A and B are shown apart, each in its own frame.
Chain A
Amino acid sequence: MEKNTSHINPLENEAIYIIREVAAQFEKPVLLFSGGKDSITLVRLAQKAFYPAKIPFPLMHIDTGHNFPETIEFRDRLVKELDLELIVRNVQDSIDEGKVKEESGKYASRNALQTTTLLDAIAEFKFDACIGGARRDEEKARAKERIFSVRDDFGQWDEKNQRPELFDMLNGQIELGQNVRVFPISNWTELDVWSYIEKEDIEIPSIYFAHKRQIFLRDGLIWSVKDGIVYRDESEEILEKVVRFRTVGDMSCTAAVFSEASDVATVVKEIRVSTISERGARIDDKRSEAAMEKRKQQGYF
């Protein structure tokens, strides 16, 4: 079914309004930057919100050490080109300090471990608002998340006790120790983001486009070959295929899709006719029906 994008302008205006509310209502906001297309879109929206002034808060990347090298290279270039302030905190440090334990086995991933590193970084810098690129269309539990979502001292999400959000009014009043997760592109769909990237001519990491990659197949998903990071049985045969990534997380929890789409316009066309949801390629969500909700209660983004 064909999807129109003519409403993108109201969504952009809404996102800019939300980002400005964060700068006005909080003392130490931060933009959580993953190097994925949604957080790159947030950076553009933040630029628009404050032009001709600079973005009045830093970016923070929680680096699992399992990122695609292309994402890290892109991150560093973006920060330099736009003259942004970037904070990086590493999951490896949390492991070395004995705060979290590396998962083992076939489905080992550092995705869940990020939460501890994130909460520690929030406490370290005393961040009171963390802006993130989560969207309600991504996943069922996220569909219920507020735009300003209050977290307690433990970073926990109390889904039954969320503040009502009326009209455009955002209530960012919190106690010391609490923080707010803010989702300016809550109401955008995957296609809205891609259409925006196309219209705005925003550069994104190369792994979003078709490229040759060594992969193997497991559980009907396409896994990247990366020794030491992605576990692979010897029986799982290495293939070289043309693939791209629809969503970008860690190498150990992001599956590729077979695709020839080599530019944004072709990607937009591909998504319009796709019958698989974006998070269908997230290995972490496949664990159980309530996987996301459980992680969110524990303080996951």
Chain B
Amino acid sequence: MNDLKESIKIKKSTKKGHYINLPTSKDKVEMGLLKIATAGSVDDGKSTLIGRILYDTKSLTTDKLEAIEKTSKQKGYDYLDFSLATDGLVAEREQGITIDVAHIYFSTKTKSYIIADTPGHIEYTRNMVTGASTSQAAIILIDARKGVIEQTNRHFFINNLLRIKEVIVAINKMDLVDFSEEKYNAIKADFQELMSKRDYQDQKITFIPVSALKGDNVVNKSNHTPWYQGQTLLEHLEIIDNQDIYNRGTPRFPIQYIIRPKTNEFHDYRGYAGKVYGGELNVGDEIVVLPSQTKSKIKEIYFYDKKYQTASRRSSVTITLEDNINISRGDMIVKVNDLPTINKQFTATVSWMDSKKLFIGEKYVLQHGVNKVLAKVDTIHHVINPDYSGINPDVNGLGINDIASVTFKLNKPIFYDVFKNHRTNGSFILIDMQSNNTVGVGFIQ
């Protein structure tokens, strides 16, 4: 926690009260946490890989380790079944597969990690999209015996669609192919062919030959791969620079909640609470409130009871303005020269997540950040095969796990950026009006 204290600099201000800089992206506070999504097909050894990382970083506690040893023995294995460390639900233990997103936590001297363990089989694409949406890095597992399969295409497609900046391709079960360099290179070449088809070319991709079961090149360097000069999986994760792992854009401040204390001390106080996305906001910035298009200036930035000069990306602050403006939840504060698109109609890539199909003419609640509007499906242009095999223009509604290009019409305009420029302000979820379930996610084109 000292990092936070050290990073706070007192800045002189001409105004009353003192201002402090909220930690900026250059400071250490954001460098410490890395969220990783994992993807692999059934039996590619994903849970084993995660268990192996936990074991080799000594993150498994004695009681958990004892439970793994006990169960492995009961099952008659002559090795430790690390997958037991992550497979949480009873059904999973019975079927021996992972069926939902699990979160696993561990840390090293340099970083804290959250791994979103997402299932790999086709019917659970929605969980993969979900895990990837909150991650900054991804591990794609490939079984060295099987090589690049249709599932691999899907895993890569989804990580690319969600614009995950760092992808690690872990070619696993190298022990079962005699740690063959030729095999490794052949799989790498196959994967590189996929890379040429991707939409998001800036994605950084790293190949590592591993054996999760035996521990080769996961945390410790393998003796079996003298031909591989690169880093182990953990070594690579350790050097990923969190400074540029979050996609950057222009600052967007969606209003979450209006704070009106109405106490004697804060009688006329009107604070706008929210999280800053894309860039930073500063006291004195000239801003526009959307949708009213009213202009004002940022008067104060509060984080709890302290005033700050700068609100950095991803900080949950409260802002006051120079002028008394009528603002409500769902409105957005942006800088004067950095307006988003304001529109009642747009086209998005949609990932459908519900067994009830999406059809032309259907209405949904569209939640864009904290803002909710009604959306009507205007056109379904085509379904995108999520394995780089092209598109299918002959569409009659979207089923679960379909990915498609869809145009929506809204009852009110929203203030958005395209997804490739702004991950947060370019995405939305669709909510079914009967079930209230989250039935789809969209990435604005």
Residues in A lying within 8 Å of B, measured CB to CB: 1-14, 16-17, 20-21, 23-24, 47-54, 136-137, 140-141, 143-144, 159-160, 162-169, 171, 173-175, 186-187, 189, 191-192, 195-196, 198-199, 274-277, 280, 289-290, 293
Contact B316 A20 (CB under 8 A): yes
B30 on interface, CB distance cutoff 8 Å: yes
Closest Cβ of chain A: how far from B98's Cβ, in Å?
10
Q: List the A side residues contacting B438 at CB < 8 Å.
A: 163-166, 171
- Which of the segments B192-200, B205-213, B265-273 contacts the partner chain? B265-273
- Which of the segments B56-64, B224-232, B331-339, B378-386 contacts the partner chain? B56-64
Q: Which of B308-365 contact A (CB under 8 A)?
A: 314-316, 318, 329, 353, 365
Q: List the A side residues contacting B275 at CB < 8 Å.
A: 13, 17, 168
Q: List the A side residues contacting B111 at CB < 8 Å.
A: 4, 7
Contact B114 A187 (CB under 8 A): yes
Q: Which of A24, A54, A173 contacts B256 (CB 8 A)?
A: A24
Contact B130 A196 (CB under 8 A): no
Contact A199 B107 (CB under 8 A): no
Q: Which of A49, A192, A199, A289 contacts B316 (CB 8 A)?
A: A49
Residue among B63, B262, B431 having the largest count of chain A Cβ atoms under 10 Å: B63
Q: Which of B103-130 contact A (CB under 8 A)?
A: 103-105, 107-112, 114, 126-127, 129-130
Q: Chain A residue with minimal CB distance to B255?
A: A24
Contact A24 B370 (CB under 8 A): yes
Contact B329 A171 (CB under 8 A): no
B178 on interface, CB distance cutoff 8 Å: no
* Pairs across A and B, CB under 8 Å, 9 listed: A5-B112, A7-B33, A9-B29, A49-B316, A144-B100, A168-B424, A276-B61, A277-B64, A280-B61
Contact B133 A166 (CB under 8 A): yes
Q: Which of A2, A136, A175 contacts B105 (CB 8 A)?
A: A136
Q: What is the bound-complex CA distance between A174 and B432, given in angstroms? A: 11
Q: Chain A residue with minimal CB distance to B99?
A: A160
* Interface size, B (range): 35 or more
Q: What is the bound-complex CA distance between A48 and B304, given in angstroms? A: 5
Q: List the A side residues contacting B428 at CB < 8 Å.
A: 169
Q: Chain A residue with minimal CB distance to B5?
A: A199
Contact A166 B429 (CB under 8 A): yes
Known A52-B266, A171-B367; contact A6-B31, beta-carbon cutoff 8 A: yes
Contact A169 B100 (CB under 8 A): no
Residues in B lying within 8 Å of A, measured CB to CB: 1, 3-5, 23, 28-33, 57-59, 61-64, 67, 86-91, 93, 99-105, 107-112, 114, 126-127, 129-130, 133-134, 256-257, 259-263, 265-266, 269, 271, 273-275, 302-305, 314-316, 318, 329, 353, 365, 367, 369-370, 423-424, 427-429, 431, 436-438, 441
Q: List the A side residues contacting B107 at CB < 8 Å.
A: 1, 3-4, 189, 191
Q: What is the bound-complex CA distance between A52 and B258, given in angstroms? A: 11
Q: List the A side residues contacting B114 at CB < 8 Å.
A: 187
Contact B88 A164 (CB under 8 A): no
Closest Cβ of chain A: how far from B161's Cβ, in Å?
13
Q: What is the bound-complex CA distance between A175 and B436, given in angstroms? A: 8
Q: What is the bound-complex CA distance between A21 and B441, given in angstroms? A: 19
Q: Chain A residue with minimal CB distance to B261?
A: A53
Q: List the B side residues contacting A5 at CB < 8 Å.
A: 1, 3, 32, 112
Contact A17 B1 (CB under 8 A): no
Contact A16 B316 (CB under 8 A): yes
Q: List the B side residues contacting A189 at CB < 8 Å.
A: 105, 107, 112
Contact B314 A143 (CB under 8 A): no
